[in-house]
Structure 1
Amino acid sequence: MTGELDRRAMVTLSGGHLSVDFASGAVPALLPFLSDEFDLSYTATAALILAVLVSSSLLQPLFGLWSDRRGAMWLLPGGVALAGIGSGLAAVAPSYALVVVLFFVAGVGIAAYHPEGAKLAAYASGRRRASGMSYFNIGGNSGYALAPILITPLVIWLGLGGGLLAMIPVVAFSLFLLRVLPSLRPLVPSVTGRRVAVGEDDTRAMFLLSLVIGLRSVAWFALLAFVPLWVVANGGTEGEGGRELALMLVSGAVGTLVLGPVADRIGLRRTLLVTQAALPGLIVVFVAVGGLVGTLALMLVGLFVVGTFGVTMVLGQLYLPRRVGMASGLTIGLAMGIGGIAAVVLGALADAIDLETALYVAAAGPAIGAIVCLFLPAPIVRLPQAVEPAPAVIV
């Protein structure tokens, strides 16, 4: 791995990440409107999140394996296009069942982009992996944050057709990616290339990290699904619910830039432990206190969760240095799958008891995850002699 960040490649990859996650972020942004359109229960509303997350989570590791074995750069434009088309058509689908199918299709596109994009971003990052991956993730997190900011007023103004209109730039960017693919090919190292990291895969460490990611996702995807509905249930409007969700996601995008350099300075595992330990209390403050204090707590939740996406991605790549694409698929896809299932379970709990109880239960996930963080080992990356003469231990 060379020491310098390839800025041009990173801008392109981050732009694709922005586009595909804008399509992904359209799902929670559309939920309050689709819930009204089809008169959905909490469980049925959460099932829409599950539809997109099941396909993306199940397929991401498979796309990652394909990427590791054969290379698949065409997944970048193809994934962005499919995600945009699926989410856009879901907004105007005439039946609930068709919405579920189209969100599932969008999830396939999301699954296709992330492993290949994250692998190429790792090659382009240089030595400071957490900082480099934060640039890749700022695109995705910004796209996710922009979705409710842009889609909510569009749908209020134009109806659900505004959701379809919002996906036009996403599909347009997929065509741009198709055109610039040749410029990304030099990022892919040969077997003997000096940018190839070597080392042994640590499957036990990857299992523990996956557990942390899954527990964090229980809370995160519950908030994605239910923050707007919680605001409405407490007397707010759909627009206010969308703005609350947007503030959480924008803070997450800021957290991506803040916590990447912090992790490079103090260590990946320490950064992950501190942020996960803070989440349960912040979620409780959002639900119990509300108002400005609750909003600030929710913004910190976004900062700590989304800001550590890059941290867990880098840790996964370091724990599985011989299968970088697979590691990327697991760290992203696993989060989506477990989060989607948890959202449906918590939706059923909200229907059976109330939404407040479901949100309190969601806060328990990262509390357990913080304990698991204590058992994460320090990853060791050995780089070729010409680049790094001694093993690097990253705490």
Structure 2
Amino acid sequence: MSSSSVTNSNIASVPSVPQTVYPILFSIAFAHLINDLLQAVIPAAYPILKENFNLTFTQIGLITLAYQLAASLLQPLVGLYTDKKPKPYSQIFGMVFTSLGIVCLSYASGFSMIIVSVVLVGIGSSIFHPEASRISFLASGGRRGLAQSIFQLGGNAGTALGPLLVALIVVPNAQHYIIWFLAAAIIGLVVLSRIALWYQNHLNLRSTKKAVIDLPNISQNKIILSVAILMVLIFSKFFYMASMSSYFTFYLMEKFNLSVQDSQFYLVLFLASCAIGTLIGGPLGDKFGRKYVIWFSVLGAAPFTLLLPYVDLFWTAVLSVLIGTIISSAFPAILVYAQELLPKKLGMVSGLFYGFAFGMGGLGSALLGNLADHTSITYVYYLCAYLPLIGIVALFLPNLKKK
């Protein structure tokens, strides 16, 4: 490859430094924590919104669908655009959209205003994720699974903190106390500004160097098939995760007569286990191969999801931790595997997979909410228990070799 053929896309597709840049990795992970904490306010506030506005489960599902569609449809387009023209400061604009959504949600006076609020948060998320995922890749120093796990750990930690803070700040008071989460957004803007400076300097440096890209040594048809298999796995994982993130509190309240606040703490326990699973999934993929981690992560949760609807409260908590840990270890491995399939399209791949994941979560929430209205929340968990069995298709993923 001649130096004249090096484009911004190529520049952004290679590790930027021979060693892992931990300050940047932890900074982008912290920004991910802030971003996902603000997103997590939405489902955590569902019990309050349901009571305040007399919402049905179908309406709750539609709120999630609106948010997830806004977060999913734009992400591949954002990623495709930034593959060609990297935008170091774009994440700052994403955080501004999210902040506006939080302000609107805190003072929402009806169902339509709630929809507008969550769409704004979704747009912010769609702008944030493609470039943030690229930054973690560039700072990885070749340890891509580890870098993606650190990045995802931040997101999962934020997702776990959101319901906890809502339970402590909003539930004892009122809906408009959601405005306090704006303080987290301001901190996020400061962190993202510093990361943007590093990213801009990196782009300036890389523009003067020759790019070398590791390509997978498999046919184009196998690449397409592999991407399709990964999409099926994303469907399985995030459809099940939608049942937990949107309806686990209602399930606990219905089956075990817990209060809203107590059920939120069980949700935090599940989400914290997801953070642990995310942290270990990437490094295990680096060491043993991403295919095997993906296969175990999705299919390995099946015995526990099948048991969950039949146990008491104590074992519900135990099984939810096991499910969260196992099933969440898949996503870092899936995303890095996809990036290695298409190393020249990092932004598009990241946007596509984050977008599809959010889309499946939103669709799952809407369909499951409608099902819950017509049956019961408990029935939803009987049905969703079989979703991880779809993970068997991971056996057909090829082992990647580079050329």
TM > 0.5: yes
**Could you tell me which amino acid in structure 2 is paired with residue 218 of structure 1?**
F
- Structure 2 counterpart SS, 1:261: helix
Q: How many Å separate the matches in 1 of 2:129 and 2:301?
A: 26
Structure 2, gaps ≥5 residues long: 1-14
Aligned to 1:364: 386
The answer to which of 165-174 and 245-254 deviates more is 165-174
**Using the alignment, how far apart are the partners of 1:203 and 1:278 within structure 2?**
25
Query: Per the alignment, in what secondary structure is the counterpart of residue 380 of structure 1?
Result: coil
Give the equivalent residue in structure 1 for 2:225: 204
Which residue of 95, 112, 116 maps to 2:131?
116
Match of 1:48 in 2: 63
The answer to whether 1:380 aligns with 2:395 is no
Q: Identify the residue that residue 352 of structure 1 maps to in structure 2.
A: 374
Distance in 1, Cα, partners of 2:62 & 2:315: 30
Q: Pairwise mapping of residues 149-298 of structure 1 onto structure 2 (< 5 A)? A: 149-188=164-203, 190=206, 193=209, 196-199=212-215, 202-234=223-255, 235-298=257-320
Name the counterpart of 1:384. none
Q: Which residue of 2 aligns with 1:5?
A: 20
Aligned twin of 1:334: 356
Residue 176 and residue 257 in structure 1: after superposition, are their counterparts in 2 closer, same or farther (change >3 A)?
A: closer
TM-score norm. by structure 2 comes to: 0.90
* Residues 220 and 239 of structure 1: CA distance in aligned 2, closer, same or farther (over 3 Å): same
Q: Cα gap change, 1:74/1:270 in structure 2, threshold over 3 Å: closer, same or farther? A: same
- Indicate conservation of the 8 Å contact 1:84/1:168, yes or no: no
Residue 123 of structure 1 contacts residue 195 of structure 1 at CA under 8 Å; is this kept in 2? no
Q: Deviations over 1:129-158 (max 9, x none)?
A: 111211111111111111011111111232
Deviations 1:335-383 (A, max 9, x none): 1101211111111111112212212222222211x121111122334xx
Distance in 2, Cα, partners of 1:192 & 1:338: 41
Q: How many residue pairs are counted as aligned between the two chains?
A: 381
- How far does residue 214 in structure 1 lie from its aligned partner after superposition? 1.5
Distance 2:328 2:252 in 1: 21
Q: Counterpart in 2 of 1:141?
A: 156
CA deviation digits over 1:102-139, x for unaligned, max 9?
A: 10110000010000000111011112211121111111
> TM-score scaled to structure 1, two decimals?
0.91
Q: Which moved more, 1:279-288 or 1:90-99?
A: 279-288
Give CA-to-partner distance per residue, 1:4-35, whole Å, 9 cap, x none. Answer: 11112112211211111111111111111111
CA contact (8 A) 2:24 2:195 kept: no
Displacement of 1:88: 3.9
Between stretches 153-162 and 241-250, larger displacement belongs to 153-162
**Residue 71 (structure 1) aligned to one of 86, 100, 112:** 86
> Could you tell which deviates more after superposition, 12-21 or 175-184?
175-184
In 1, Cα distance between the equivalents of 2:103 and 2:122? 12
Q: Distance in 1 between matches of 2:100 and 2:319?
A: 34
Residue by residue, what CA displacement relative to the aligned partner does 1:158-208 show, whole Å, maximum 9, x if unpaired?
211222212322233214423552222244474674565342672331121
In 1, distance between residues paired with 2:144 and 2:195? 24
Match of 1:319 in 2: 341
Q: Distance in 1 between matches of 2:331 and 2:52?
A: 33
Q: Which moved more, 1:272-281 or 1:309-318?
A: 272-281
Shift of 1:78: 1.4
Q: Secondary structure at the match of 1:236?
A: coil
SS of residue paired to 1:127: coil
What is the percent sequence identity of the aligned residues? 25
Which of the pair has the greater relative contact order for Cα pairs under 8 Å at 6+ separation? 2
Unaligned runs of at least 5 residues, structure 1: 382-390
What per-residue deviation string (whole Å, max 9, x for no partner) do you get for residues 240-298 of structure 1? 11111101111111122222222222111111111211223322333220311111111
Matched-pair contact (CA < 8 Å) for 1:151–1:166: no
